[in-house]
Amino acid sequence: MRAAALPGSLFAHPARVFRIVTDRAARGGHNQQDEFVHIRLTRPMSIAHWIDRNILSLGREMRLSYLPPLMVYVAYGISGLTGIVGTFFVKDYLGLSASFLAALGFWAGIPWALKMPIGHTVDLLWRWKSWLVGLGAGLLTVSLGIMALLIGDREAMTAILPAEVWYVISVLLAPIGYVVQDAVADAMTVEAVPRVDEQGRVFDDQTRKLMHTTMQTLGRVAIVGGGITVALVNVYVFSGTEGMPQADLIELYKQIYLMAMVIPVVSVAGLGLAWWLKRRQKQRLLQEGFSSEQAQQMVDVRDAEGEPTKPNWWILGGSLAFVLFTLTVSLGGFPYREEIVFTGSMTIVLFLMSRLMRELEPDKRLTLVGTAAVVFSLRAIPQSGPGATWWMIDQLKFDQQFLSVLSLIGGVVALAGMFVFRRFMAERSISYVVGFLTIVGTILALPITGLYYGLHEWTAAVTGGVVDAKFIALVDTALESPLAQISMIPMLAWIANSAPANLKATFFAVMASFTNLALSLGQLGTKYLNELFVVTREVRDQATGAIQTPADYSQLGELFITQLLLGLLLPFSAILFAKLTKFKSV
């Protein structure tokens, strides 16, 4: 806006403007406006510097010690390998409704709300964290094995339990495994940032703050990078599957689930690498002349920076109550089970957060509350649900390979976006970032809604078939994909830098529990939307081929519009809360 107030003749002669600013600077007479003009006019001539500052510098700041937690994050990223297979398997072979799948998503999110006690347990059992990673790997292996057997040998599995029950068990086991490993990885990101260099000299606070930000950014990069890798695999695997016999397609689905067994292997390998790196660092410090005790203290970041973690019985006792409460309600056949569990869970988590925040200074407490509220609102936005994907498959003819291509493009652009927005995230408040994401996300949701109302038919007619439904979906995915990953990075970096050293994993877990309850609330909203606007795909009896449920997408447009409005209103309500109260965001 300030640029618009400047005389137009200045912009007509950029070389003259640059000379004026330089001359005034030489005389000590340049003011803030002069500096602004200088920046605006020289930006096109410093693209190389911008790339170096925002992208290449992140590679230079990468340390080998960052690799172990990044491997655990990569394992989570490559979990998307089975996403497309799961979507088509549920659509074609299971008779589960869109609202049921949304409710299942709510229950699958509950283990992530338990990340608080799991994170505190990681702090308490840090020396035995390898067992926790092994436990998570085992649960993931069982979950993937169930799906591989269900697809490859359906008759044997359904002789024991219905296919839908096996699917629910697999869906609920996987997040438990991931959340255990993720809690360990979050704490490993703190341990991965060294206190001293190779000569044993202590890093200053500003340097360590930058390293924490870099570590958290690379963590998101690892997750997205894992997603890109599996998207490439899916694009290759699903090439040429059009018209493939159903039996061959089923065998392909099974092979993909067996390939996914690499996920737990990667996470366990990351833990082994962490042990080796610490041993190597200690040997180098011994060679520098430090005693074994001194070298051990320099290597053990957690032990050196704070007191040993003591059990917080409020967290452990409250979490036990949370687990018992959830199991009682979920298995007791109560009406409104999801709503009761969410309300009880939120009450318990807020209580535990209030106890934990006593460890922070008053100003940091207010910052944490305001930040959490803003991020919560963004993550609580309801989604359109599986009906949207079913409609794309049935009506727009998006097949497995094209959905893989969308996933690939989304991952690549999201990865690039995190580099591009790196300084933006570091220099702006979360309120600003969330507001920006909300506006842009709303705008980018419009083309998908437009597709339902025939936008692609008009654009294809105007452009000779170039801008069709697939073209619009590709462009929209490319533009929207960076938005989902960047909002969490500033908050994670703040926790890594500001939380007490002996409670890092607990604080990561607290915020994860709170914000993952937001995802659970979003799943509840998704269920409500799919109950209000009923969307069904065609379901046939596997034995006779008779249609059991006809396809009906007539209410999908109203669902899209309602979801779009909620996605705009919820985040801005939280931003206003943070701005108009004593709370603030980081």
**Poorest-confidence range of 143-147, 178-182, 337-341, 424-428?**
424-428
Q: Could you tell me the residue range of the domain that residue 371 belongs to? A: 62-580
Q: Give pLDDT, residue 33.
A: 37
199 Cβ neighbours under 8 A, 6+ residues apart:
288
Read off the pLDDT of residues 449-469 as tens digits, 9 standing for 90 and up: 999 999 989 999 988 888 888
- The half-sphere exposure of 272 on its side-chain side, counting CA atoms within 13 A, is 7
Is the same domain home to 134 and 262? Answer: yes
Read off the pLDDT of residues 95-120 as tens digits, 9 standing for 90 and up: 788 888 888 888 888 887 777 777 77
Higher confidence at residue 360 or residue 181?
181
User: What is the average pLDDT across 124-130?
Assistant: 76
Strands (E), 413-566: 539-540, 547-549
The whole-angstrom separation of Cα 463 and Cα 455 is 12
Is the same domain home to 42 and 156? Answer: no
Higher confidence at residue 40 or residue 189?
189
* Residue-by-residue DSSP string for 349-409: HHHHHHHHGGGS-HHHHHHHHHHHHHHHHHHT-----HHHHHHHHHTS---HHHHHHHHHH
The whole-angstrom separation of Cα 399 and Cα 315 is 47
**CATH code, 375:** 1.20.1250.20
The whole-angstrom separation of Cα 555 and Cα 385 is 13
Closest CA to 382 of 531, 257, 256, 199: 531
The whole-angstrom separation of Cα 295 and Cα 283 is 8
- Report residue 66 as tokens: 């960052």
Average pLDDT in the chain: 77
**56 domain residue, yes or no:** no
Q: State yes or no: pLDDT of 167 exceeds 90.
A: yes
Q: State how far the alpha carbon of 57 is from the alpha carbons of 61, 196, 444, in Å.
A: 6, 20, 30
**39 domain residue, yes or no:** yes
**Poorest-confidence range of 27-41, 430-444, 478-492, 572-586?**
27-41
Q: Give pLDDT, residue 22.
A: 34
**492 domain residue, yes or no:** yes
**28 domain residue, yes or no:** yes
For the beta carbon of residue 60, count every other beta carbon within 10 angstroms. Answer: 8
Is the same domain home to 165 and 200? Answer: yes
Higher confidence at residue 423 or residue 76?
76
Is the same domain home to 463 and 423? Answer: yes
Is the same domain home to 384 and 306? Answer: yes
Is the same domain home to 21 and 157? Answer: no
**55 domain residue, yes or no:** no
**586 domain residue, yes or no:** no
Is the same domain home to 321 and 448? Answer: yes
Is the same domain home to 25 and 168? Answer: no
pTM for this model (two decimals) = 0.71
Is the same domain home to 143 and 22? Answer: no
Q: State yes or no: pLDDT of 26 exceeds 60.
A: no
Read off the pLDDT of residues 515-528 as tens digits, 9 standing for 90 and up: 778 888 998 999 99
- The half-sphere exposure of 148 on its side-chain side, counting CA atoms within 13 A, is 13
Q: Give pLDDT, residue 518.
A: 86
**Poorest-confidence range of 156-160, 358-362, 479-483, 543-547?**
479-483
Is the same domain home to 14 and 108? Answer: no
Total number of domains in the chain: 2
User: What is the average pLDDT across 507-518?
Assistant: 75
Q: Would you say 177 and 79 are in contact if contact means Cβ atoms under 8 Å apart? A: no
**116 domain residue, yes or no:** yes
